[in-house]
Chains A and B, each alone.
Chain A
Amino acid sequence: MNFPVINPLSVLPEIILLATSIVALFIALFLPDRRGHQLNYLGLVGVLAAIAVLPMLWAKVEVGFGGAIVSDHFALAMDAAILVSALAAFLLGLREVEPGADYVALVLWAALGMMVLTSAVELLSIFLGLEVLSLPLYVLAGFRRDRTTSKEAAMKYLLMGAFSSGIFLYGLAFLYGATGKVSLASIQAAILQNFTSHPLFLEIGAGLVAVGLAFKLALVPFHQWVPDVYEGSPTPVTAFMSVGTKAAAFGALVRILTVALPAGIVHWQPLIAFLAVLTLLFGNLAALRQTNMKRMLAYSGIAQAGYLVVAIAANSQMGVGAGMFYVVAYAFMNIGAFAVVAALSGQNEEGAEIASYRGLAYRRPWLAVSMTVFLLALASIPPLVGFPGKFYILRAAVSSGGVLLAIAIVVGTMISLYYYLRPVLLMFTHSEETESPFPATAHWTAHVTVGVMLAGTLVLGILPGLLTGPLQNAVHAIYGL
């Protein structure tokens, strides 16, 4: 017999995160109050180290754990987006959450789960990745135990998260039941060679898996938990989970649906397209009437997930590539916007109302201008990164015959202009008030985050080619070309 190869290289970034979290928890034992802000910097170093090894792993595809985990270009590209969002969780976390070793470890574990999910190619590892990412996030959502909204967010996230995991799990059971296999490659082979026990099992499995991940991706009509959870969670956690979870769930959806279940045989495409259209229209319409900045960004996040799912519905290599580009673009724009919200809000999130942004440009010009750039990018105005992102998705949708999807994108974008531009208008409207609802200074790390995200939004918007080259490799990687 042959023992399965473990190959630690295939999970090197994950190992770094895990080691950092253990060191942080261990150090906390010797701190006088068992907490300590400094540990936040340790988490930061761990994430930076994990980012640093990504280019080294890019050279070769590593397969680990007997084929359960693959560290290919697709996984590494998604890992980059996930790690950037984890970086933001640490940079922004210093002020609002009073981080200790617990915060550091939970963020690192959630990021670890997300990274496992993007590189998992067996049903078992996919399920484990999904749960390892979810469990720490439930706790993180309720991290500010002194705030009613934070506790409520944790509760709602927990119930909806566990519920959706159950649905997802049932989908995995049907995929296993249809083929008797757990690895995605053998499931695909079994389907292509018609070795399936019952065609209906495949359809049910694909549907349940799609619905389970739709909860995580926040697609309409499985989105009800999102606004409350995004509003109630501490802002750094919201920034982290809005981007990280989407990147991870997108990765899983691509690997399971577009790669393992050929759309010609298993008919998941209409379901995904339907969810995409519903999400685009409803998400944008619901964002119109929000008065709280975080809640508005939550609905905007729902709408953005709609664009992402159009890329999956296109079911082509181009679609997958466009979706990946959009994940990276969304990471920069969205974390940037949340970073400004975090920089403006103090310990207790005073001033999260959109109305309090009036006249911001005259008091805090740097933050106001940055916020303007992020909101315009989310509205996909050129030359910011949202524009090429949406252009690629539109292109992918049209070239695979999804004209209706393309129309939905355009209509959704038109609606979104209103709610993205309203805060911009407010910020540049002169206000008579001399008293600002915001604390006078922000932590320097918040400014660093805003700066990094601003640079990404501008550079990738003007030169999208920097990213499209590597992404092409990534697409080839998952299609096994």
Chain B
Amino acid sequence: MVPLSYYLILSALLFSIGTVGVLVRRNPLQMFMSIELMWNAVNLSFITFARQYTNMAGHVFVFLVITVAAAEVAIGLAIIVVVFRTREHADVDELNAMKG
């Protein structure tokens, strides 16, 4: 059997990739996908820990996270569409009406 720590390391790697993606990418859709990657990396951690303790709380947590993530995507995409309907490129660096 694969040791549980491998899953935790994989989850940490995925989370880091997501974090770097948010910080480096400038396209809001790609940033949003990176955020989703972070959330799902966390899900993997929850499942691993649930396996380790053989209790169901981690599984329940993952279901809740998936549900909330779905709601977040719905709202997020709606906002992205509203913002970029009037613009040519989807690039967060162009969102600079406010400064200081």
Contacts and interface: CB of A to CB of B under 8 A. Distances in A.
A131 B64 CA distance: 11
Nearest to A180: B53
A156 B94 CA distance: 12
Contacts of B58: 176
A255 to B, nearest CB: 18
B98 A231 contact: yes
A231 B95 CA distance: 14
A176 B75 contact: no
Contacts of A176: 46, 49, 57-58, 61
Contacts of A232: 97-98
Contact of A149 (B35, B71, B98): B98
Contacts of A177: 8, 45, 48-49, 52
Interface of A is mostly: helix
A142 B78 CA distance: 11
Contact of B22 (A131, A135, A163, A174): A163
B100 A155 contact: no
A73 interface: no
B80 to A, nearest CB: 7
A182 B56 CA distance: 11
A162 B32 contact: yes
A182 B97 contact: no
A170 B80 contact: no
A333 B10 CA distance: 47
A292 interface: yes
B28 A155 contact: yes
B60 A155 contact: no
Contacts of B42: 166, 169-170, 173
A155 B97 contact: no
B61 A163 contact: no
Given A166-B38, A177-B45, A227-B100, A152 B52 contact: no
A481 B23 CA distance: 44
Looking at chain A, what size class is its interface with the partner chain?
35 or more
Interface string B47-88: 011001101011011001100100110011011101100000
A124 B68 CA distance: 12
Given A131-B68, A148-B97, A177-B45, A162 B53 contact: no
A145 B82 contact: yes
B92 interface: yes
Given A155-B83, A170-B42, A135 B35 contact: no
A290 interface: yes
B95 A163 contact: no
B55 A180 contact: yes
A79 B42 CA distance: 30
Contacts of B39: 165-166, 169
Contact of A180 (B18, B52, B65): B52
B42 to A, nearest CB: 5
B35 A163 contact: yes
A277 to B, nearest CB: 23
A181 B98 CA distance: 44
Nearest to B54: A180
B49 A151 contact: no
A159 B32 contact: yes
A47 to B, nearest CB: 23
Q: Which of B38, B92, B100 has the most CB of A within 10 A?
A: B100
Nearest to B38: A166
Contacts of A158: 75-76, 79-80
Contact of A139 (B8, B35, B49, B75): B75
A148 B84 CA distance: 11
Given A162-B76, A227-B98, A151 B64 contact: no
B83 A152 contact: yes
A173 B46 contact: yes
A232 B83 CA distance: 13
Contacts of B61: 123-124, 127, 172-173, 176, 182
Contact of A163 (B38, B48, B75): B38
Nearest to B99: A228
The 8 closest A-B pairs by CB, nearest first: A180-B53, A166-B38, A177-B49, A173-B45, A182-B57, A152-B95, A162-B35, A169-B42
Interface of A: 123-124, 127-128, 131, 135, 138-139, 142, 145, 148-149, 151-156, 158-159, 162-163, 165-167, 169-170, 172-174, 176-177, 180-182, 197, 227-228, 231-232, 289-292, 295
5 contacts: A138-B79, A145-B82, A158-B80, A176-B46, A231-B98
